[in-house]
Structure 1
Amino acid sequence: MIQRADENTWNGVPMGRDEWIDMMSSIGLQYQFDSPHAGASTHDSARAGSSVIVNLDIAWQSTAPILHHGDDGDLFVQVVRSGTRWIKPRGGQTMSFGPGDVALVDPTVWHGASVRERTCMSILRIPRSALQERGLPNHFPMICRPDTASPDVCAVRDFVLHLASQAGKASEATLARFGEQCVDLVDVLVNDPGVTHAGRSTPSIVLRTKQLISRYIGDPDLSVERIAAELNMSTSSLTRALHGSGLSVMRHAWSLRIERAARRLRADTSHGNIQAIAYQCGFTNYAHFSRVFKARYGMTPREYAASHKAVRNRTAEQT
């Protein structure tokens, strides 16, 4: 069989099978075509923040990770759009993934994967460093198959698919924001506590807790219970993990709220907005806000705002 030079395309560039295999090898995957009638394959990718989103259209191909490729590799979140993806872990049973199914694949753990009929997938390649920064698990000893009967898993899957549909359309800045949000949501896909938290260290729990507090700082309903639920931990387990580092969820939250309010007051000194600023920073009682603010800064919020306005006015006059 004579191979056409333009049989496959990689990000719009026509290439033959040998070049396609080389490109897959460059990202740590050993590929092979399993039939002379595999047909054209396409790979389209776009940067999405720290991650890469890939739309892949292939048939009659098989792959395995190239272990010790030179780095620790990315974690792959694979969503099958059409067709069937077969994955066989070393020593395990072959798993089939059909339309709508999701697989979390760790390329540092050997497995074989293949497709026969034409299969379309969207794949989010997440660097391990991005997961580590969020205190999320970044190594999986087996193929992780999130339960698509869960509405939350379906919501995250559909968000990944939406990101994939915007590749090449939305701006780089918007794709970056979508991509970072997808990484934030990876813990939903591995929400089995026995998998999600195996080996999670106390420093990573502290880091993730601080990130969640910062995310929800303006929500007056923020609580230890809510943070624990986000981390798929019991309240008591979270409290024990934080105790050794001296971190209290609510003390940290109140401190951040006061600091955020102070920044807002320095930037916006209109007296009519002070109460609104307090509410936007998560305080539901203005008297309480005024009391704790004075304890922190030695003056009421109104006095604090006025003093910074006076400083700005003097600076303006001098210039």
Structure 2
Amino acid sequence: MNTSLCDKRWNGRPTDNHGWINAVSTQGWACRLDADRSGPSTIDIVHAGQTEIASVSAAWQSLSPILHRVSAPWNGEHVLVKIVQSGLMSIEQRQQTTTFGPGDIAVLDPQHMFNQSIGERTRVLALCIPKSALRERGLRHRFPTVSCPNPESPDVGVVREFVLYMASQARKASEPLLARLGDQCLDLLDVLVNHRDRSGPVRSSAVTALRAKQVIARSLGDPELCIARIAAELNMSPRSLARALQADGLSAMRYAWSLRLEHAARLLPGATQGEIKTIAHQCGFASPAHFSRAFKERYGMTPREYAANHKTTSVDGPQ
């Protein structure tokens, strides 16, 4: 029997079938409910820094991304990591269907059409991750088809449990701590997104570049970050590190400064003058004046001008 109201809740607020479909649509999904069967469905969304965490419990429905929609929160620039906690989830893509059970993980790119189906009540934890965060860490960020990390891998299992634990504590942790946990989660994602076997050996310089990018991404707020400190964390000499990075077309400190400015640009929209000074220190600049000069050279305007010009550009989530 299909009823209009069947115990659906969006971030704790009760809604009916029509409201559920509309709320899902505002997130960039086309939702189809089973015409003959229904069940309770809930979703709770929190943010951990750059990562959105959605805890979903749903039944008898299917989802597919609405492609080329400007209002979709990913707008082609996010990757989804879905962990099945209970029940079954099926992904149909390019005429192939993959079924995921408890403990299985699916990595998906909403730029590429797929259909996700759920029957009996199923619990899924979904991470919505900016591709920019993966690129900054030198990680794979394109997934034309669903990627399935091996659930039997010990490393995959450890990362999965870390993500699930972080999500379980999300409502208890302060916003700054949750952002730090989110950054740690991003640093561990290479285990899930770079798991595929590669043809031929991986160049040692490429591995060094990846590890250096991860160190830099973790240390953006350290104004004393330098190639010697990066090399020390990687247990190699500065000269060896510079040589390996050069072979991969990378300069450690140019990369660090570029990353700092990009991170600052994400934080600036709508910031006050006092907040701009805080952002400068958070991004590892020795002084607000240094930050202002570097930012203007990169973006053609001062941080204050950028904050004012971009304060209304962020897309709000569903109310």
Q: Residue 76 of structure 2 corresponds to which residue in structure 1?
A: 72
* TM-score normalised per structure 1: 0.64
1:4 positional shift: 4.4
Aligned AA (1:173)? P
Q: C-alpha displacement at 1:148, in angstroms?
A: 1.3
Distance 1:133 1:196 in 2: 24
Q: Deviations over 1:194-224 (max 9, x none)?
A: 5799xxxx99985862442675948957346
Tell me the CA shift for residue 244 of structure 1: 6.0
Paired amino acid for 1:118:
R
Equivalent residue, structure 2, for 1:87? 91
Runs of 5+ consecutive residues of structure 2 not aligned to the other structure: 220-228, 256-319
Q: Check conservation: 2:88, 2:119, Cα contact below 8 A.
A: yes
For 1:174, the equivalent position in structure 2 comes to: 177
Structure 1 gap ranges (5+): 226-234, 253-319
Instruction: Give the drift of 1:56.
Output: 0.2
Q: 1:179 to 1:88 in 2, by over 3 A?
A: same
TM alignment of 1:195-274, pairs within 5 A: 209-212=212-215, 217=229, 222-223=234-235, 242-243=246-247, 245=249, 247=251
> Would you say 1:122 and 2:122 are equivalent positions?
no
Q: Root-mean-square deviation (CA), in Å? A: 3.5
> Residue 191 of structure 1: CA displacement?
2.9
- Higher helix fraction: Structure 1 or Structure 2? 1
> 2:148 matched to 1:136?
no
Structure 1 position 98 matched with structure 2 position 107: no
Q: Relative to 1, partners in 2 of residues 1:239 and 1:97: Cα closer, same or farther, differing over 3 Å?
A: farther
Any idea what the Cα deviations from partners look like across 1:212-253, whole Å, max 9, x if unmatched?
26759489573469xxxxxxxxx9xx966632647489xx9x
* CA–CA distance in structure 1, aligned partners of residues 210 and 68 of structure 2: 29
Whole-angstrom CA distance in 2 between matches of 1:65 and 1:85: 16
Query: Which of 46-55 and 2-11 deviates more?
Result: 2-11
SS at 2:117 equivalent: strand
User: How does 1:10-159 map onto structure 2 within 5 Å?
Assistant: 10-70=10-70, 71-92=75-96, 94-159=97-162
- Structure 2 distance, partners of 1:196, 1:158, is 29
Cα displacement (A) at 1:18:
1.3
Larger radius of gyration: 1
Cα offsets for 1:125-174 (capped at 9, x unmatched):
11222222222222111101001111111111111101111122221122
**In the comparison of the two structures, how many residue pairs are matched?**
235
Q: Normalized against structure 2, the TM-score is what?
A: 0.64
